[in-house]
Structure 1
Amino acid sequence: MNQQSTHPINIAIDGPAGAGKSTVARHVASRLHYIYVDTGAMYRAVTCIALDRGMSPDDEAGVGQLAQTLDLVLLPGEDGQKVLVDGIDVAARIRSHEVNRNVSRVSAIGAVRTRMADLQRRMAQAKGVVMDGRDIGTHVLPDAELKIFLTASPRERALRRYRELGDGAGATLDQLERDIAERDRMDRERDIAPLIQAPDARLIDSTGRSIEDIVDEIVDGGLAAARTISAGET
């Protein structure tokens, strides 16, 4: 059943790679009639274009400047979210193994994060947004009315990525698990907006749980938060 809160709020869903954030966030947004913002897709898009142009992810100045010039827009589509870069949809290319291997380095660049965070905050100004990423509750939307930290075991996250890529698309399950572990390390240890659980975030472990069960829990939390705010304003 579709549900809509009486008072629109912002919901921040953070967590490591492969935890199911995007899938859960899409379903939560649909249930609440909110706008879904996939921030990971934004960083992936910058990484994809940088690689297309032969740039090294370690070229902080060059990639940072690139991020400032890109016209990046997220739009709903019949087959999922469209990720437009300068008017061209790159959604089908941003989940490649090569992008997976390099996106953490691009995401750690200060100028890239500053640009993406600015765009993300603009998207959330009117409320009614479900936004997922790695620093939404701690950095991008620290005042979000509901914060979730969604995780899963490293092996399960690697298996999900393996299936998403289609039998790994050239990468073994063990290699994907190692890649995920390395990405976790880089995300946790980066100087700018590292991956951490916000003190007021609700921890949800998705290992062995159905998407529907997790979505129900978050929607219930969102509706409760909205009712609390509505009651306080009356």
Structure 2
Amino acid sequence: NASKVAVIQSVRDALLQRQRDFRQAPGLVADGRDMGTVVFPDAPVKIFLTASAEERAQRRYSQLKDAGVDVNIDALLEEIRVRDERDMNRSAAPLKPADDAQVIDSTGLSIEEVLDRCMAAAGQA
């Protein structure tokens, strides 16, 4: 689980330059919990995508059910809340949007609507 490993500073230090090495022309779309704050703080476009814990639990529940996995939505919701708490309160790069990030709340939006908002935020809509 990436969230559990992300609290280990030596692991974060070892991976930082490797992550930055992926940036090459013409550009990079990077997805991760601290891409805009730690890994690529000088990125020209930063989008912090969020959704309610309930929405994320429902999405994950649907994915797992579609894959034939027997899962309890209440357990998923609790896991998400615990992970969020851990990530937002860790000492090494706590989860938060970069000061210059555009925050997009995807709660209740379709994938197409989220993409439209991301493209607009990036100035390419």
Q: TM-score range by the shorter chain?
A: 0.7 to 0.9
In the other structure, the counterpart of 2:65 is: 166
Which sections of structure 2, spanning at least 5 residues, go unmatched? none
In the other structure, the counterpart of 1:194 is: 94
In the other structure, the counterpart of 1:151 is: 50
2:18 to 90, 105, 119: 119
Q: CA deviation at 1:127?
A: 4.4
Residue 203 of structure 1 aligns to a residue whose secondary structure is strand
Which sections of structure 1, spanning at least 5 residues, go unmatched? 1-101, 225-234
In the other structure, the counterpart of 2:76 is: 176
Residue 133 of structure 1 aligns to a residue whose secondary structure is coil
Which structure has the highest strand share of the two? 1
Residue 22 of structure 2 aligns to a residue whose secondary structure is helix
Residue 178 of structure 1 aligns to a residue whose secondary structure is helix
Q: Of the two, which has the highest radius of gyration?
A: 1
CA distance in 1, matches of 2:10, 2:61: 31
CA distance in 2, matches of 1:214, 1:197: 17
CA distance in 1, matches of 2:88, 2:55: 19
How many residue pairs match? The answer is 123
CA distance in 1, matches of 2:114, 2:16: 26
Q: CA deviation at 1:191?
A: 1.2
Residue 30 of structure 2 aligns to a residue whose secondary structure is strand
Q: CA deviation at 1:169?
A: 2.8
Name the aligned partner's letter for residue 151 of structure 1. Answer: T
Q: Does structure 1 conserve the Cα–Cα contact (< 8 Å) formed by 2:87 and 2:94?
A: yes
Structure 1 residues 199, 147: closer, same or farther in 2, change over 3 A? same
Cα RMSD (Å) of the superposition? 1.8
Quote the sequence identity (%).
49
Stretches of 4+ moved more than 3 A in 1? Answer: none
